[in-house]
Structure 1
């Protein structure tokens, strides 16, 4: 009797050691076999449901892979082992009109922050952009190139101005009434502009003496001395009694002096100092007269002109007085 009991005890102990996690199941089998069967059936149903779910997801992945292979170009089709793209950003073939749209793995298009590239113009001209600036369509539009002379195109002698009388001139740089006249230490004028083109005949925007004078003064400020000479000569001939004729005579001499026409310049400055010796430009004209005579190697006459300034115009500006002292030292008076 004892031998079978020992055998059963040994077998039970071995099973307990070998299947320690299944002790509860062993106890349940001893207690209720039907519950054990029910638990196994529930477990089988769970595994069956998980298997069906995995099969369904596998079919979805295969369908997405077939769609990807059908839409991608021939050289970019992924192989069988290629992972499918993310569902929220599927790959789409870029169109020619949208070269940077819907490209995967790209944070920003090339040349970000710049304007989109323009479509190339077809050979032979093609259609032009609607927003392109064409000066031939509207010659009066802002930005169209214009000739010098207050923004007016060259005109003949009988042409009429294009601006109402009384409106201010636009000389592009908003010059003051008279530019600062800095006398050079060596008395040498600026070099004349290159080119030997004949001066253009221009008219101011309106036919008033002040506008014509301002037109010539604008040429002086832009260093277009040829047009300045022509404009000032026309002004003196048309308005010999105008209050600005003395200034026009001075700027005529300045336009000649800057082109190294010293003899003609000296005659113009001499006319200011003799005919209009009470004008505001008379001291400046006398200084320029001395500089012109010095350039002509007339030292005594030049020194006499410099000395006449301090005697005749003791209240001349500081710039004129400094110019006299400098020129006397340079010439050796």
Structure 2
């Protein structure tokens, strides 16, 4: 397992993070315990959860697993923002909701401090300064060590970073976005914003919902041990759209070729590519079974060759038709200028 700094903080985490969204839902408590034991035994030290995962049950399972363990290097991350009740103040990034949500997460996890507290999504109704002031207070009080964001846009990130600096607040250290070979649009502005601020990326869905693991076949309805196969109504529209794109199958074909040549799995290739991307601190794994996790952990020390990375970068390049990112657009001109320096 490789270890990296948690964004611009001094904490150190493994390059693969164990996500716990399946805990209490697709993975029962006994299975969840096995997954966490397996992950730690492999050298992992970074767990990611959220209050809304299984309506708080995921945090409770992690808390019960942590009880009695002396894992001083373990870094625990959770999130707050989405509804945890029916009332109008039971969601959002207001001081009122976050205060209640943070205390509840601390109780469910059974810890005195959360290492990384993440804002699960942007809140357009709450003044940003209110959120940042709350987070700064939480750092100063010792309830959290660091904070980060999830699913923020580039301008959200930059505004928050500079407001924190202007007010003398603690700064965000990470961003958790969707990022994989099939979904690379964050490279337009989100990644540059994070790099400018020194923030680390914690990509979720690095296997593109299973597409990059080789589970899906062209023009064939998924069956068996896939989320869509077990529940055909789930994400059917997204499946049909992705299945119809030539880019999807070109990417999958490249991943499969490299996996065969390296004698590794497709999932390991996709995870290794993501872990090697600029600004990435740790890639979040979303395993449901010990077998899936074992396969994913095989990517921890996999280093793709420069030729393999170039092939994957080229075949998965974000599609940019026109202004401002495409041919003749501002982004294209800037890249040419920067390349000539």
TM-score bracket for this pair, using the shorter chain length: under 0.3
Structure number with greater CO (CA < 8 Å, separation at least 6) is 2
Higher share in helix: 1
Higher share in strand: 2
User: Over alpha carbons, which structure has the higher Rg?
Assistant: 1
TM-score (norm 2): 0.20
